[in-house]
Chain A
Amino acid sequence: MSQATLKIYRYNPEEDAKPHYDTFTLEVEPEDRILDTLEHIKGYIDGSLSFRRSCAHGVCGSDAMRINGHSRLACKVLVKDLDAGEILIEPLLGLPVLKDLIVDLTPFFDHYKEIMPYLVNNDPPPEKERLQSEAERARFDDTTKCILCAACTTACPPFWSNRRYVGPAAIVNAHRFIFDSRDQGTAERLEVLARPDGVWRCRTVFNCTEACPRGIRITKAIAEVKHAIETGDLTTFVTPVEEE
């Protein structure tokens, strides 16, 4: 048991003209998740603290927020992972804050929907499965992991200044279909992504890859999509992820 101090961004549109920060001090275990500390505060100190959460182990994507200035999932960061000292908790950047740590995800999901995030294949389906080799499957494995948590898009400087940019999460999800050998909607999808607010707004800042709680190589995926647009070649440059 040790003590931790959390400085948390607070904003209740019904009461506050402007956001402010509240500081809470509580007993924690080093293995506690940041989400546990937030739950504790909500349960025992201030019930009005609002945030989203569900699975508590990093697979649903509900509790992305800024922890010490980085987009992270509160359930995937342990107290001991952070530097000693005050822990700073803020909502994701670049989306309108609705209350405390809750942001408006509408622009985020709208971008997701823009890139046609579904398999397009107009051939009549075979009786059994469509065949796909292990190598073909491996090409887009990395980008199937996305849980739509929005940590990446809200860490991206071009998105902060331009909310029309589709953002890394949408591109990741486009990548998942573009390089799926069964897909036939790719040309159309790439056309959407080649627009002024598509992939070209990405300046390889890398904040997205650093933020992704699923360890997706986002910048790599974006580079592969850029290539596909540039050359129409969906095979040559696309490689499965190698261990670092």
Chain B
Amino acid sequence: MATIRTALTGYTRYRGREGQWSFLLHRITGLGVLLFLGIHILDTATVFFYPSLYSHAIAIYRTWPASLGEVVLVFCLFYHGVNGLRIAYFDMVSPKRWMISFERRSSLWTLLIAFILWLPPAVLMIRTMLIFDFGMFGGA
């Protein structure tokens, strides 16, 4: 029991640095994407099993909270991907780069790259959301 508590409160009681935060973010984004993916597989599968339900599902995706969620999802996937690549590169190709200076710098770069990659699709998606859900830019 004590270990579970430590597991949950450790992040506030231990002042980890970049590594700890990128690990948490990697884990949260990974699990977030997985949750979405599970749902997404099931709702898409309705096209074969219950085609009539599909439009209901899609309708939910079209609401603005879902649209915002997708914006976040895209960030999660980019961050998780870039960070996963960073880890895989250090692990598989160049273990000697696992040193403090590299770790700190590369964690920040990862965040930055994920952010830059995310911006264009995010702008597009937010624009679409504003058009469809809020009738801006002349609406649809």
A residues with CB within 8 A of B: 66, 68-71, 90, 93-94, 96, 155, 157, 160-163, 203-207, 209-210, 217, 219-220, 222-224, 226-227, 237, 239, 241-242, 244
Contacts and interface: CB of A to CB of B under 8 A. Distances in A.
Given A161-B7, A207-B19, A244-B101, A93 B95 contact: no
B90 A204 contact: yes
A157 B2 CA distance: 14
A205 B91 contact: no
B70 to A, nearest CB: 27
Contacts of B95: 220, 223-224, 227, 237, 239
Nearest to B8: A161
B23 A204 contact: yes
B41 interface: no
30 contacts: A66-B13, A68-B15, A69-B13, A69-B15, A70-B14, A70-B15, A93-B6, A96-B2, A157-B14, A160-B7, A161-B4, A161-B6, A162-B3, A203-B26, A203-B27, A204-B23, A204-B98, A205-B19, A206-B17, A206-B98, A207-B17, A209-B19, A217-B99, A219-B98, A220-B97, A222-B98, A223-B90, A223-B91, A223-B95, A227-B95
Contacts of A222: 98
Given A94-B3, A161-B6, A205 B96 contact: no
B90 A160 contact: no
Given A155-B14, A244-B101, 8 more contacts: A90-B13, A96-B2, A204-B23, A204-B90, A206-B20, A209-B98, A209-B99, A209-B100
Most buried by A among B26, B87, B91, B101: B91
Interface string B90-108: 1100011111110100000
Nearest to B97: A220
Number of chain B interface residues as a range: 20 to 34
Contacts of A90: 13
Interface in B66-104: 87, 90-91, 95-101, 103
Contact of A160 (B6, B19, B99, B100): B6
Interface of B: 2-4, 6-7, 10-11, 13-20, 23, 26-27, 87, 90-91, 95-101, 103
A207 B19 CA distance: 7
A91 to B, nearest CB: 11
A43 B75 CA distance: 55
B3 A163 contact: yes
Contacts of A161: 3-4, 6-7, 10
Contacts of B26: 203
A224 B7 CA distance: 27
B83 to A, nearest CB: 10
Contacts of B91: 204, 223, 226
Given A160-B3, A210-B16, A220 B23 contact: no
Given A66-B14, A206-B19, A207-B19, A242 B3 contact: no
B6 A239 contact: no
Contacts of A206: 16-20, 23, 98, 100, 103
A210 B6 contact: no
B20 A220 contact: no
B20 A207 contact: yes
A210 B104 CA distance: 10
B10 A157 contact: yes
A241 B103 CA distance: 15
A155 B16 contact: yes
Contact of A239 (B23, B87, B96, B103): B96
